[in-house]
Amino acid sequence: MIEAKQLSKSYGGQIALQALDMNIKEGEIFALLGQNGAGKTTTINCFLGFVEPTSGEALIHGVSVSNNPLESKQYLAYIPETVMLYPNLSGIENLAFFSSLAGQNYSEEKLKGFLSKSGLQESAQKQRVGGYSKGMRQKVGIAIALAKKAKALFLDEPTSGLDPKASNEFSEILKELSGEGTAILMATHDIFRAKEVAHRIGIMKEGQLVSELNAVDISANELEMLYLKTI
Amino acid sequence: MIYLIVKNFFRSKAHGIGLVLLLIAGLISLEIGSRFLKKTEQVSVKTAQYQQESILRNVSYFDKEMGTLMYYLKFGLENKVPNLAALSIGQRDIFPTVQSVTVRNLEEQRFSTDLTNPLYQLLGNMDFSFVLIYFFPLVIISFGFNLISEEKEGGTWSLVRSQAGSPMSFLRYKMGIRVISVLAVLLVLLLVAKFYLNIPMNQHFLAFILVSVCYVLFWFALTWLVVSFQKNSSTNAQTLLICWVFLNLILPAGINVFQRWLFPIPEAMTTVIQNREGYHAQWDKPKEPTLEKFYARYPQYASFVHPKELDFSWLWYFAMQQLGDEEAASEVTELKSKLRQRLDLSKKVSWLIPTVHTQLTLNSVGLSDQGNYLNYLTALEEFHEELKHYFFPKIFQDSPVREEEWSKFTLRVFQDEYAVSWLKTLAPFVIFMLAFLLWATTNFKTARLN
């Protein structure tokens, strides 16, 4: 579902991504670990079409992002590290707006359903986003992704800054989505959560995927040791 | 989506305040226009009244000799102010609405007109064209400069781009609501103006409306172009404000300086001097050459002769006055042709500068520009000539004053014409807008936004 073939990106002489190969199947959660600047965000941006790869190809549901950016975007949803919304609109209005951008029109009931599912308390749904906390905005971001019913979900450090309870709820939603067949690529610094939620874990260094393993084969402590050794 | 974009637009206080300020400034300008109309109306009513009174009073004082009476009598020519001029006062506030002349030499009278408070001239009028040309663009800039950059800086851009296949229609709607809201204020103001100032719906008003709309669209097109480069908010704001300063302040002032340099008008001063010298010197000269010149100019008066034994006759006096005008004639022609050249030059240059083009066109259709003033000057000459030919025979043969029907000399009205050339009026806007939109489209394509 999410596939990279020899994906490379360099800015001037600086290599950000070097011949990355990766294949994430339906229902699979792939966690990317790595230091800042290792190439995790660049990888996600290549799939989102925000960044044009220097060479190689990024495919979503078999559709090349570079050649068919409009089509590939139909299949994906994205939750940035910090979900920023329109402060003058309420949570439910923001959700309605972003869904309409993707060409979807939901009834108010449905929209409320998505927000409740992502954990936003009902009393806050009609309040303006200007007064939301980071966690609340993050939940609206999740609802936007849920509403899009995407085949591929990209997450850039989605739990950074969330309290443990919110992080935990978030993991549950990811597992649920994966159960429904969504392929998920998640860049994160949170080794513990990566081990807990992901099926496969990749460690990136200087634009390359230097090790890749199944989450069941390793404990969180071992993973941490491996990570520290690798980078 | 459109509904939510509209909602988001109006929930931002700045947008509401901008629109309300625009509306208030516009309404104030209409009030200023209305006062201007009242003032000019008053001037012409009072002048008409005064002219009648003054003629009758003079007739009662000087009823013995036609020449003495005609030395004093003044006849006014009103430069008719269309109500549309209230929206674009132009040069109407420095040039007189009514000028009254005697049958004596014209040039000396031409520039002795009513006084205007120099303070008003210093500040200029905040008429509707001022609000349109200077204030509307600022609001347009403030609405549009961060069209994309506010999304980037507010962090919503990545989510927008990941959700929408192409964010272009989102951006178009976003710009669209700004265009519509500003145009709505403009049209409301013009509608209020139509009824409040009682402006007739004719081709001039239609041209005024179209030019105003085009001007607003021009600034939106420019803003669209600037945001298409996708720079940050402060860069966009700076770029647009620099454009505003150039288009509204520096370039118009530059054209003005250029005109003055290209067509200097020393004649303005020398005309008056030449004219005065022209006739004052006649007192000390033999009278025959003066009369010869007068007969050469107007052979129809050759039958009237100056009695040789007399030092003074009205025939000689008015012939000598006429000579003053003739001394200055070449200077006057030169002055007018240079003023005309300045006007033509600015009209040509204005093709490249939409702000100047707007001001000139609004003044043209409001009959408040230099062109109208030049036409009025010519009309005044014709009026003066007509008066002379009516009264000269009566003065020279000393017709009885009381036999003349004085009440028929009411205030004469000059109605200027201006034919709108639609191509010349609208083409500069269309050319610029098309160029900006095409350029912007290329930028968006390069950035792979569409």
The answer to whether residues A67 and A161 belong to one domain is: yes
Question: What pLDDT sits at residue B115?
Answer: 60
Are B105 and B275 in contact by the 8 Å Cβ rule? The answer is yes
Residues of chain A neighbouring B162 (CB-CB closer than 8 A): 48, 73, 76-78, 154
Question: What pLDDT sits at residue B113?
Answer: 66
The verdict on a CB contact (< 8 Å) between A102 and B1 is no
The answer to whether residues A183 and A217 belong to one domain is: yes
The answer to whether residues A48 and A88 belong to one domain is: no
* pLDDT, tens only, A31-60: 999 888 889 999 999 999 988 899 999 999
**Pairing relation of β-strands A183-187 and A152-156?**
parallel
Residues of chain B neighbouring A154 (CB-CB closer than 8 A): 162
User: What is the nearest CA distance from A82 to chain B, expressed in angstroms?
Assistant: 8
CA contacts within 13 A on the Cβ side of B44: 18
Is A191 in the B-facing interface, judged by CB distances under 8 Å? no
Which domain-ending residue is among A128, A149, A170?
A149
* Region A52-73 average pLDDT: 91
Q: How far is B267 from B332, CA to CA, in rounded Å?
A: 7
Count how many domains chain A has. Answer: 2
Q: Which of B229, B25, B12 is nearest to B142 (CA)?
A: B12
Task: Name the more confident of A89 and B277.
Answer: A89
Buried b (16+ CB within 10 A) or exposed e, A174-199: beebbeeebbbbbbbebbebbbebbb
Count how many domains chain B has. Answer: 1
Nearest to A88 among B8, B158, B162 (CB): B8
Is A86 in the B-facing interface, judged by CB distances under 8 Å? yes
The verdict on a CB contact (< 8 Å) between B170 and A83 is no
Question: What pLDDT sits at residue B197?
Answer: 96
The verdict on a CB contact (< 8 Å) between B162 and A82 is no
Q: How far is B444 from B450, CA to CA, in rounded Å?
A: 6
The answer to whether residues A30 and A88 belong to one domain is: no
Amino acid found at A139: K
User: What is the nearest CA distance from A102 to chain B, expressed in angstroms?
Assistant: 5
The answer to whether residues A62 and A160 belong to one domain is: yes
Range(s) of the domain holding residue A123: 84-149
Q: How far is B185 from B23, CA to CA, in rounded Å?
A: 6
- Tens-digit pLDDT string for chain B (450 aa): 889 999 999 999 999 999 999 999 999 999 999 999 999 999 999 999 999 999 999 999 998 899 999 999 999 999 999 999 999 998 888 888 899 999 998 888 887 766 666 666 566 688 999 999 999 999 999 999 999 999 999 999 999 999 987 889 999 999 999 999 999 999 999 999 999 999 999 999 999 999 999 999 999 999 999 999 999 999 999 999 999 999 999 999 999 899 889 988 887 777 777 777 777 777 888 888 888 999 999 999 999 988 888 888 999 999 988 888 888 888 888 888 998 999 999 999 999 999 999 999 999 999 999 999 999 999 999 999 999 999 999 999 999 999 999 999 999 999 999 999 999 999 999 999 999 999 999 999 988 775
* pLDDT, tens only, A210-228: 889 898 888 888 888 888 8
Range(s) of the domain holding residue B313: 2-446
Place of tokens 């439910």: A92
Helix (H, G, I), strand (E, B) or coil at A89: coil
The verdict on a CB contact (< 8 Å) between A84 and B155 is yes
Question: What pLDDT sits at residue A162?
Answer: 80
User: What is the nearest CA distance from B159 to chain A, expressed in angstroms?
Assistant: 7
Q: Which of B151, B122, B85, B37 is nearest to B416 (CA)?
A: B85
